[in-house]
Amino acid sequence: MDITVQELKERMDKGETIHLIDVREPYEHEEFNIGGLLCPLGNVMRAIEEMSEHKAEEIVVYCRSGRRSDTAKQIMQQAGYQNVRNLLGGMLDWQEAFGK
């Protein structure tokens, strides 16, 4: 099940531990990010091994609009990650809702 920007922001504001992965490119991450680990979509396959200790934990993947992160979610699920959620609308929706 995916997650909205409102739900994610509420949970972050409560101080919940959420594994965030930003699958955008480095320049996009530098312009604006919400604290996620930068792992561009092209690197997700290689990073899956490194992140395996979090396989059963909730992971939220995000990108600019939600398309690349949806692809990353599918890749991770195929690799056995059980609780990957895509941030619907990505950073576009986040910035529209909360600004920079």
pTM of the model: 0.95
pLDDT tens per residue across all 100 residues of the chain: 999 999 999 999 999 989 999 999 999 999 999 999 999 999 999 999 889 999 999 999 999 999 999 999 999 999 999 999 999 999 999 999 998 7
Active site (catalytic) residues: 63
Q: Are 60 and 33 in contact (CB under 8 A)?
A: no
Any idea what the CATH number is for the domain that residue 54 is in? 3.40.250.10
Query: What stretches of the chain adopt beta strand conformation (E)?
Result: 19-22, 37-38, 59-62, 84-86
C-alpha span between 96 and 11 (Å, rounded): 18
- Report the domain count for the chain: 1
- How many CA atoms lie less than 13 Å away from 26 in the CB half-sphere? 1
Domain with 17, as residue range(s), is: 5-98
Do the Cβ atoms of 59 and 83 come closer than 8 Å? yes
**91, two tokens:** 């950073």
